Structures are given as C-alpha cells and as structure tokens.
Amino acid sequence: MSGGRPALITGGAGFIGTNLADRLLRDGRDVILYDNLSRAGVAGNASGLLERYGRHRVRLQVGDIRDERRLALAVADAGEVYHFAAQVAVTSSLDRPKEDFEVNAVGTLTLLELLRQRREPPPLLFTSTNKVYGELDGLALRREGRRYVPEDEDVQRFGVSEGRQLAFHSPYGCSKGAADQYVLDYARTFGLPATVFRMSCIYGPHQFGTEDQGWVAHFLFTAVAGEPLMIYGDGCQVRDVLFVEDLVEAMLAAQRAMPRLAGRAFNIGGGAEHSISLLDLVDHLDNLIGSRPVVQFAPWRRADQRYYVSDTRAFRSATGWRPTTSLAAGLDRLHQWTRRLNPRSATPRVVAVV
C-alpha cells in the first residue's frame, strides 16, 4: 500500500512513535519523524534511531503540528501516516484550553486537509483516547477489596465497548474527541482511508511518564528513585494496561486491514485480562524492585475515571489481534530500560506539547 514511500509518524520521537519507528525500520521501512522535540527525553529517542539506522532511512523533520507549511513537506512523501502528535495531559488542558484545542483539534484538521489534497491519500491511523467517554456517567460501580468493579456483568467481563455514548469531559477530552470525530468524518465524507484507536494505558521502554500521562512508567521511575508516589483518589481506580509492542502489532494490523477498517473507531488496550488498580500496581513494584514505595494520597482530580477497561473484541474480530505480553513481563522490560537511565533527570516535571 505504501508503494515504497516512507511512513510518516507525527510525534515520531515520542514514546509510541519511537517504538513504532523502530519496528518499521527493522522490517525494512523508512520513516519520517515529525516532532517539535519539546518534551523531555524525545530528542534522545530521535538520536538513538538516527544512530541505529542512519539518516538515509530516518528523516527527522522538526516542526509543530500546527505549522502547515512544514507539515505539508512531510505529508507529500508519506506512504502511510500515524498521527500521534498531541497535547497529552488533562491538567495542561485545564490550564491552557485554547492551546490544547489548537494542537489537538486544529492540528489534526490541518493534517487531514493536507492528506485530502493528495491524489491518492495515504492511510491514516489516529490515536484518540478513552477520555472521549468522559467519566462514564451511569456506569454503576462497587468497591471490591482494592479495586472498583462494574455492576454490569458484560462490562465487568469485557470492558467498555465502542457503543458507549461519547461524553467529552475536560478541554483535553473535547479537543481529542473533536479530532477523533473529524478523522472518522473525513473517512465517511471524503473517502480518506483512516481509522481511530481510542487508547487506554500504554506502557513500555522510551516512556518518560508523569503524573498526568504515562502513569505506569511514572510510578516505576518514582519508586526506583525512592521518592513517594502520589495517588489522586483512593487508588482503587482500575485501568487496563497494554505493553507498547502489543500496541505496535495492533497498529500494523490496522494498516494491513485499512480497506475494511476505514471510518471505524476501536477501543484499544489490554482488556479485562490486563486490568489493574493503582494499589495493585504498587504491589507489583514492590516485587519488582525489592522495596515498597511510600504512597501518599490527594483528592480526586477533575475528569478522573474510577474505572476504565477497553473492550477490544471489535478489533480482535476484525484483525485477529490480541495482546500477548503479561504485566509482569512488560514491567520487567520497562524496568530493564529504566536501569540504563537516570530516572529523575530523564523524567519531565511538566508535560509539554509533542
């Protein structure tokens, strides 16, 4: 489908972009990394790819997703597109909602328009978020031990499906939700070969996590450094976690099946079998690093979900994909990577726009 053209990855020096680029390069594909390098750690990710594969295969284009002129140069050469560039934190969106909208919604619309101008638009995979479902109002929960459990037996067994009503909450939820809907509509209205992943919690190497985004890596970094962990709420909130290499497999499967998947959105995460509460993750870290982190608690934050687990059955049925990396194995891989870093100097104190 790419016709030998490179794959364009916006936000390509970030956590997911770096892992995807490495896989594509190992498979013999060239890549264009489009990134403004504003987030701590990502310049090192880009340098590592350039050193490993060379500038003849890795083209780094430094630019903002809102810069139409620069972005057009990258889009012109792309054989397929993975759109990850975004403002990624709810807290930052509450502080700077206009900037959040410009990056996430306007930036995505700019990319869509550039793709639409191509005579044969390349296939696009856009990463959205589970925050498009808001706080999951009306989903009754009960607390069992150290985690929340849905009263609805189907949700308890499989997670939240794509049939859940959209309920954008927080500026971040609104901006990503708007982008999500624009991608789907450009597929319907203009025939753009595009699909959407509404993602849960992804973790793995090259992730410089913070309290706001990438919490699994943030917990591990903080625990290894011997610093206290801050949990907002009671720690019984549940998420499904997905190792980044399993996510990359899902992305490649989506590109292969794009003619059938165009115009559809899929909930992507580890699913019910890879769900965990924040308190249970602390226990895993205790076993992993040999000492139990000190945990501090703070009030619930706005727009936090007490429970979110992805129902991935639709994507599994469409492609045959399923995650294969256990939480224990994935955490060990992430830990081995962090041991090669100084976590406190590598982890950003604030979330920047990627």
Residue 104: left (phi > 0), alpha (psi -120 to 50), or beta? alpha
Amino acid at 3: G
Instruction: Judge whether 133 counts as a catalytic residue.
Output: no
- The C-alpha atoms of residue 53 and residue 58 are separated, in whole angstroms, by 7
Extended beta strands in the chain, E state: 7-10, 31-35, 58-62, 80-83, 124-129, 141-144, 147-150, 194-199, 201-203, 229-232, 238-243, 265-268, 275-277, 295-298, 307-308
- The C-alpha atoms of residue 249 and residue 324 are separated, in whole angstroms, by 10
- The C-alpha atoms of residue 200 and residue 268 are separated, in whole angstroms, by 6
The residue annotated as part of the active site, out of 34, 133, 148, 172, is 172
- The C-alpha atoms of residue 261 and residue 263 are separated, in whole angstroms, by 6
Cβ count near 265 (within 10 Å): 22
Amino acid at 312: T
Contact 162, 267 (CB under 8 A): yes
Contact 43, 37 (CB under 8 A): yes
Catalytic (active-site) positions: 172
